[in-house]
Structure 1
Amino acid sequence: MRDKIIIVDDDEDSRKLLVQYLTKHGLEVISCSYNNHDHDTLEMFYSHDPDLIILDLSTPRLAGLELCAEVRKVSDVPILFMSYHSDDYIKISAFNLGGDDYISKPLSYDVFHARIKALIRRNRRAFPVNQRHLLHFPGLEVNLSTHCVISYGKEAILSTKEFQLLVILAKNPNRVFHTEALYDLVWRDNKLGDVRTVMVHIYNLRQKIELRPNKPLYIHTVRGAGYKFNGAVSLGAIETQSETFS
């Protein structure tokens, strides 16, 4: 299976040359520009589950930094920045927001390819192939590649929005997400909607993954703030709930 990468760059000519070069060297390449709506780019990320993302920083509005921050909320996929910018502040911002490497333009294609291979190889060592797409918790398994969720040994059928909410929370255990923040992350294409839809989806999600939805083990409500995923779920707590439930 070929390694899969996503390239986001507003320079169409540069993007086409990169796609041709990297495809020739055995990579599967998906590309787009920042002129797409940001949520479309993120949907592409969810759909293709890439091994690496390449973000250009040459546009004045530095949309690549924003996109990097959004991706880092749900994934540890390697992110490589490329840019004509020589400002150290831009480079530091890229790393602080979760970037893994930075290469200056104009590119040496051979060096660029070597950087890509090194990042993918390093990520594979940190996250073995049979584990890197899985989130494991006692009683719950989330497959980021297939979108399959196994709760208490049974598959839970989630909607796209329910799955996105679960991934955001489970990838950041014990972090409190305000309701408005979750709405912005998942419903970014509908800024005029009602944030109460988050509560409805959390309710439905609990019905599908919790053994006792009225006393959830995984997704906790933080009164006056929002929600968090309990990163300290124990087998003992699950057994106690199972005994009570039965």
Structure 2
Amino acid sequence: MTSTRRVLVVEDDPIINQSVSDRLEAEGYDVVRAWDGPGAVAAYGAHSPDLVVLDVMLPGYDGHEVCRRIQADRPVPVLMLTARADEADVLVGLGVGADDYLTKPFRMRELVARIGALLRRVQRAAELVARSPLAVGDLRVDAAARRVWCGGEEVRLTPTEFDLLLCLAETPGAVVTRDKLMAEVWGWPDASGTRTLDSHVKGLRAKVGVERIRTAHGVGYALEAGDGE
């Protein structure tokens, strides 16, 4: 990984903060560190990181508020660290702009893999500038501008939600398998992260309409122009 990639690590536990920072520096990243909510927002503004590793429970204000504030400035990939795997907590994080999450305790190897996958997606997105917008019913997806409209109204999606919708929109009506979605959107070689996928689908449905995304049970998902499942 090129050293030009800068990662902001926000974690109030000094041992975890140090361990994550040391591992990412060893992987070739330029690491900036923060230990609380206000410090995270200040560090983000001062250093313009390419990605943020963000703990949910922080002094000052929590990771969800940090995520809201930094995403309001400019879209940036955010990997949230949470002590609980409760689905409601995960959906709150996704709703404020997080792209992925890891539940503590986690393996450093998995953290590094998730970060690499998120950054590769950003790079792939930059290669879509020449693509024409896609239309599925009254849903319009502009890959170049990374914007989405439903019935003429613009819908704000997180980077991960956008990539997931784009992958489905490329073959409207056809079922895209879980393995393909995990590979295309997250860069994972298999569907081992199905809970992450299902959580993002739930968040995406809440924004574009439940009826638009059909579930093929045990297989994957499809984007429909009309009523879904």
TM-score (norm 1): 0.48
Map residues 52-71 of structure 1 onto 2, 5 A cutoff: 52-59=51-58, 63-71=62-70
Amino acid at match of 2:74: S
Check whether the contact 1:58–1:85 (CA below 8 A) recurs between aligned residues.
no
Q: Which amino acid counterpart does residue 49 of structure 1 have in structure 2?
A: S
Give 1:42 shift: 2.0
SS in 1 for 2:73: coil
1:102 is matched with 101
Alignment correspondent of 2:11: 9
In structure 2, the CA distance between the partners of 1:62 and 1:87, relative to structure 1 (3 Å rule), is farther
Which structure has the bigger radius of gyration? 1
Asked if residue 18 in structure 1 is aligned to residue 17 in structure 2, the reply is: no
The alpha-carbon deviation at position 119 of structure 1 amounts to 0.2
Amino acid of the structure 1 residue aligned with 2:29 = L
C-alpha contact (below 8 Å) 2:12/2:59 kept by paired residues:
no
Root-mean-square deviation over aligned CA pairs: 2.2
Give 1:116 shift.
0.1
- Structure 2 residue runs of 5 or longer lacking an equivalent are 130-153, 155-229
Runs of 4+ more than 3 Å apart: 58-62
CA distance change for structure 1 residues 61 and 49 in 2, over 3 Å: closer, same or farther? closer
Partners of 1:76 and 1:126 lie apart in 2 by 13
Q: 2:28 is aligned with what amino acid?
A: G
Amino acid at match of 2:81: M
* Sequence identity percentage: 28
Q: How does 1:11-160 map to 2 (within 5 A)?
A: 11-34=13-36, 38=38, 40-59=39-58, 63-127=62-126
- Structure 1 Cα separation of the partners of residues 114 and 99 of structure 2: 10
Cα 1:59/1:111, change in 2 over 3 Å: same
CA distance in 1, matches of 2:126, 2:59: 35
Contact 2:9 2:32 survives alignment (8 Å): yes
SS in 2 for 1:91: helix
Count of aligned positions: 127
1:80·1:102 contact (CA, 8 Å) conserved in 2?
Answer: yes
Separation (CA, whole Å) in 2 of partners of 1:109 and 1:75 = 27
Contact kept in structure 1, 2:35 and 2:58, CA below 8 Å: no
Tell me how far apart the structure 1 counterparts of residues 50 and 18 of structure 2 sit (CA, whole Å). 20
**CA deviation after TM superposition for structure 1 residue 70, in Å:** 0.6
2:183 matched to which residue of 1? none
Deviation at 1:123, TM superposition (A): 1.0
* Deviation at residue 126 of structure 1 after TM alignment: 1.2
